[in-house]
Amino acid sequence: MSGYETLEYRKADGVAFVTINRPEVLNALNSTVFRELKLIFDEMSQDEEVKAVILTGKGDRAFAAGADIRELQKCSFLEARRFALRTKVTQQTIASFTKPVIAALNGFTLGGGLEVAMCCDIRIAAPHAKFGQPEINLGFIPGGGGTQRLARLIGPARAKELVFSGQMIDASRANEIGLVNKVVPTADLMAEAEQLARAIAGKSSAILELAKVAIDRGLEMDLDSGLQMEIELWGECYATEDRDEGIAAFLEKREPQFKGK
């Protein structure tokens, strides 16, 4: 997979590495980035070799410091709305991706950058990473999920604090409020993300997909409905070869050899 203008891509041992490659503008997200992110996630969804994905930014200054303001400055009302609708399609592609996605946050993760990071399943941050929804400082509100996914992740009061103030928080505070899963030394960031990705890639891809569906859809339901859905998906596990292999491996005291079936 090659030929991307704003992304770098490689894969090894079941793990795909996608890097937003615009370090000269702190990996700011423009129309091309969003278009190429959708393309690459669509391609990876069809690649059976990919079991887990790590998404990060080029360099050590930013994951993505927000949307490309110079591009947005030129937009009319209709153009801005179309831009937001296109970004939603890309973000939903990432959020609904059937394989686990880990965001390795290596610096500024602001505005649209934070919105993309929140579409990932797991977020690991370097200590110098900064987080925020600064759109209010520019005269508009977040338009890529910053008022919706953020409130669901950290609660409405904390989300309002960030959205209303436009202030940044550091990695320690982001970890404290549950915006990121953990903070690790900068030098260890990619190794930590890769270690976790490889551990996940060793599980059954079929069962991982069911687990992700159960959690994500369950959040949109009342508890009783979510519990019933969980039972149905749990039952589906019994229709897979990997469930049989997992039980057999446990009883035989060996490592399971999952096939994703």
pLDDT range class, residue 82, cuts 50, 70, 90? confident
pTM above threshold 0.85: yes
Look up the domain containing 71 and give its range: 7-201
Instruction: Say yes or no: 127 and 188 in one domain.
Output: yes
Using the predicted structure, report yes or no on whether residue 54 has a pLDDT greater than 60. Answer: yes
Instruction: Say yes or no: 180 and 65 in one domain.
Output: yes
Helix (H) or strand (E) holding 75: none
Gap between the Cα atoms of 178 and 7, Å rounded: 28
Instruction: Say yes or no: 19 and 96 in one domain.
Output: yes
In a domain, 1, yes or no: no
pLDDT range class, residue 157, cuts 50, 70, 90? very high
Which is the catalytic residue, given 5, 8, 43, 135? 135
Instruction: Say yes or no: 185 and 217 in one domain.
Output: no
| pLDDT single digits (tens) 172-223 | 999 999 999 999 999 999 999 999 999 999 999 999 999 999 999 999 999 9
In a domain, 261, yes or no: no
Which is the catalytic residue, given 24, 36, 49, 115? 115
Q: Does the annotation mark 115 as catalytic?
A: yes
Pick from 213, 73, 83: nearest CA to 144: 83
Instruction: Say yes or no: 94 and 168 in one domain.
Output: yes
Record the tokens describing residue 120, joined without a space. 């990932």
Q: What is the CATH number of the domain that holds 194?
A: 3.90.226.10
Instruction: Say yes or no: 244 and 178 in one domain.
Output: no
Q: What is the CATH number of the domain that holds 234?
A: 1.10.12.10
Q: Could you identify the residue written with the tokens 């409020």?
A: 177
Q: Does the annotation mark 135 as catalytic?
A: yes
Number of domains in the chain: 2
- Specify whether the CB–CB gap between 218 and 251 falls below 8 A: no
Using the predicted structure, report yes or no on whether residue 102 has a pLDDT greater than 50. Answer: yes
